[in-house]
Structure formats: C-alpha cells, structure tokens
Chains A and B, each alone.
Chain A
Amino acid sequence: MPSITGPEIERLIQLLARLPGLGPRSARRAALHLIKKREQLLAPLADAIRVANEKVVVCSTCGNVDTSDPCVMCRDPRRDDKVLVVVEDVSDLWALERAQVSNGRYHVLGGTLSALDGVGPKDLNLDKLLARVTEGGVEEVILALNATVDGQTTAHYVTDMLSHTGVKVTRLAHGVPVGGELDYLDEGTLAAAFRQRTTL
C-alpha cells in the first residue's frame, strides 16, 4: 500500500506500534492524536522521553530502574532494612508498591531461571542478592515470585542459595484468588489452598 504520510510520521507510527498494547491501527490513532495535540502532548512527551533516556539508570544495589543510583527505594530511610522482598521484574516491584503490602527493601532478579530458554543463575541478579544478605542486617527474605514453574524453580534455587546464611526465607502463599470460584480452580491450586488454610 502506498504511504499516505511522510517518512517521519510513518516512523513515529512504526515505533508506537512496537509498544505493549498497541498495534498498527491503534499506533496510527495515537500518532494522529499526538500530532493534533502538538503543544499539549507531543512536545512534552518528546521531552519526557528524552530526559528519561538520559537519566534512567539501573540501581546498582537492587536492580530497580530510577533516575538516581541508588534508587528511591534503596535511599528511603523509612523502609525496613530487615526485610528484603525479591521480585522477578521491576513491574512486580511496582505492583507490590501499588498494593502497599510491604515496607521492606526490594531486590529485582531481572528474570527467572529457565532451562528451556537457557537462562541460568549467572544471567540473574543473584550474586548481589547473596552479598546483600550475607553483609548482615536482613532477617527475612520474601520471595515474591510468580506462581509459575519457572518462578517457583527460581524460588527453590534462591532458598538453597541462602540456606547457609541462616536468614528466614518465605514465599507468597498460593491459593484461591479474590473473586475466584472453587469450581474453576485446578486441583493443584485447590490442594495448595487447603494446605495453607488459616484459622478464622
């Protein structure tokens, strides 16, 4: 199909179409919207992207992304140094912060072990985790990893890795999600929920 816009706009559409949640059609709509709101949206967005590109760094302590190193989470004096929450990805850290369930420090692994995808321990941020735990001060490591085969394989590996440190290692409970109907749950999740039942 012949191009109906100049190469600059086509490039903008192509780049937007690479973003999660956007396909070619929605990218075209987004590009048109940006162009129509040039002063209010396009220029500030371009500036924000440029600044983010210049300033965003990976925290050398925890693996989070921020505009400073150490990141806001690692600098915050109100956070509990005794609790270290291990997550797979920065998006998981953000999810836990949205839920406000922990006031501990974080550690981002940057993925999970996967034999099939060739992801081994050396590919993850595990050395720094071990160093943070062994240097003292941490009393509990919470493994907030996905309840997937790869996530739980990683959880067991980290548990083994930290076993000699004497630090308490816990993981998130598995069970019935809020709004979940028992009839639709798989047998394994039901069994895990039964094992981890609590007294009311």
Chain B
Amino acid sequence: MEWRDEGIVIGVKRHGEGAALLELMTREHGRHLGLVRGGRSARMQPVLQAGNSVAVAWRARLDEHLGSFQVEPTAQRAARLMGSPAALYGLGVLGALVRLLPERDPHPGLYEGLEVIVNALDDPALAGPLVVRFELAILQELGFGLDLAQCAATGVRDNLAYVSPKTGRAVSAEAGGPWRDKLLPLPAFLHEGQGRQLPGPDQLAAAFRLTGHFLNRHVYEPRGVPAPEVRAAFLAALLAAAQR
C-alpha cells in the first residue's frame, strides 16, 4: 500500500530511540498516523513540529498497518508561531479538535480550513474567529451542526440574536426575547453573510461559550472526556491581546 498526500502536523510522539510517531491531518486521507524513521534526528525535529505543513508518502504492507511516512517540509510555521502564546494555545486547541475526528476519514474541507487557520494563528484578531468557525465546522462534520441561517420560531433570516441550547437553531431577537435568559447569545459575526466582520472581545467570548456548550453537550460529555484545558488559555490569550 502506498499513497502521497500533503498534511499538517498535529502531534509527534517519541518511538524508540530514533523514530517518531507522527500524527497528521492530511487533505485526502484525513487524520492519519505513521512512523517516521529518524524522526528524532536534528534534521527532522524542526520539521516534525505541530503547525508545519509537509508532503508525505505513506507505505505499509497492509492497509490496516500503522505504516511509515517519508516526510518533506513544505511550510515550516512552528518557529514563527512559537513567539505568540495565543498561537501556541491555538495549536493545542486545533489539535484537540482534529483528534475528535475518526482516523483515516477524509475531511478535505476541514483540511483547507485548518491550513488557513494555522497560517493566521499568530494574528489574534483573526485567530479567534477562525477557530470558532473551525469548531462549528467540526460540529457539522460530526453530525451536530448548528443552524444559524434562520429563526427556528419564525423563519426570518434577519436580526438573529440567540441560539437554542437544546436544538442548536438560531432564534430572532423578537421571538427569543421572552426566553433570553434560557437562550445562548448569537454573536453578530457568526450570522450568515456577516462573516467578514471581526468581533470584539465580548462577541468572541460569547462565540466560544456557544461552541463550547455544543462541544460539551454532543462530543465531550457523551465520550466521557473533559474539554481541553488549553481552550480556556487560548481564549484568555486572545482577550489579553485584544486589550493591548
């Protein structure tokens, strides 16, 4: 078995003395693991850092085997991202999100999104909204997508202000007013057609509360795993950067 693809490094673990177990998000083959012989060498260690893009060739005798990667760097961003705490925490958040996907299940759309986000992670103004949208995309891919296009009660597409914490459907300001305490605020930048607006700190925090609620409800709690601690650190770093 053999294929070639491009991928973004999600994580690396030591394997024996000189090898590394590499976890990639690939364009055509989804989240995929493989062994990199010599992966702990001085030449390979800078390449095998989370956030870098690589071209890979995967080989194995049988498809179900772990297999081995041959890796060539195509974009080495890790050293640039290391200068920004928000970027490093963001890498942790993205890695944890990608790990929610089953192995070897292709998600080319998510790969494209991930590539855009890791390129922008050291820009806190862009990184926050992009990661929120990636969380929404992960929920969508896992079958728990939110419907933020129209009001669940009236069908209107304007003035959407809330999201039902049970159904994940948007509710307009008029229809949701009487139940506002029980609904989750919908930040304006997540409305369809308004994606170009950059959110302020309050909107960003509300957006992370929104996606965090549904990730907990549909993903973390059913799987019996806690939400990654790094998510709170990422949001704190973004808000701190916004205040500077």
Contacts and interface: CB of A to CB of B under 8 A. Distances in A.
Interface stretch (B61-69, B78-86, B185-193, B202-210): B78-86
A121 interface: yes
A191 interface: yes
Nearest to A146: B45
B82 A174 contact: yes
Given A186-B76, A188-B82, A116 B46 contact: no
B76 A187 contact: yes
Interface in A145-172: 147-149, 152-153, 156-157, 159-160
Nearest to A159: B85
A153 B88 contact: yes
Given A149-B51, A160-B85, A186-B73, A115 B95 contact: yes
Nearest to A186: B76
Contacts of A184: 43
A36 to B, nearest CB: 26
A116 B98 CA distance: 10
Given A149-B50, A186-B47, A191-B80, A116 B17 contact: no
Interface residues of B, number: 35
Contacts of B43: 184
B77 A188 contact: yes
B78 A188 contact: yes
Contacts of A147: 79, 82
A137 B89 CA distance: 31
A121 to B, nearest CB: 7
Nearest to A192: B79
Contacts of A159: 85
Contacts of B79: 147, 174, 186-189, 191-192
Contacts of A188: 76-82
B151 interface: no
A21 interface: yes
B95 A116 contact: yes
Contact of B228 (A21, A115, A160, A187): A115
B233 interface: yes
B218 interface: no
A120 interface: yes
A20 interface: yes
Contact of B229 (A120, A187, A189): A120
Contacts of A174: 79, 82
Given A188-B76, A189-B46, 5 more contacts: A147-B79, A149-B78, A153-B91, A184-B43, A192-B83
Closest 8 A/B residue pairs (Cβ): A188-B79, A115-B92, A156-B85, A186-B76, A115-B230, A152-B82, A153-B88, A116-B11
Interface of B: 10-11, 13, 17, 23, 43, 45-47, 49-51, 73, 76-83, 85, 88-89, 91-93, 95-96, 99, 228-230, 233, 237
21 contacts: A20-B17, A113-B92, A115-B95, A115-B229, A115-B230, A116-B10, A116-B23, A116-B96, A117-B11, A149-B82, A153-B89, A153-B91, A153-B92, A156-B88, A156-B237, A186-B46, A186-B47, A188-B78, A188-B81, A192-B79, A192-B82
Interface of A: 20-21, 113-117, 120-121, 147-149, 152-153, 156-157, 159-160, 174, 184, 186-189, 191-192
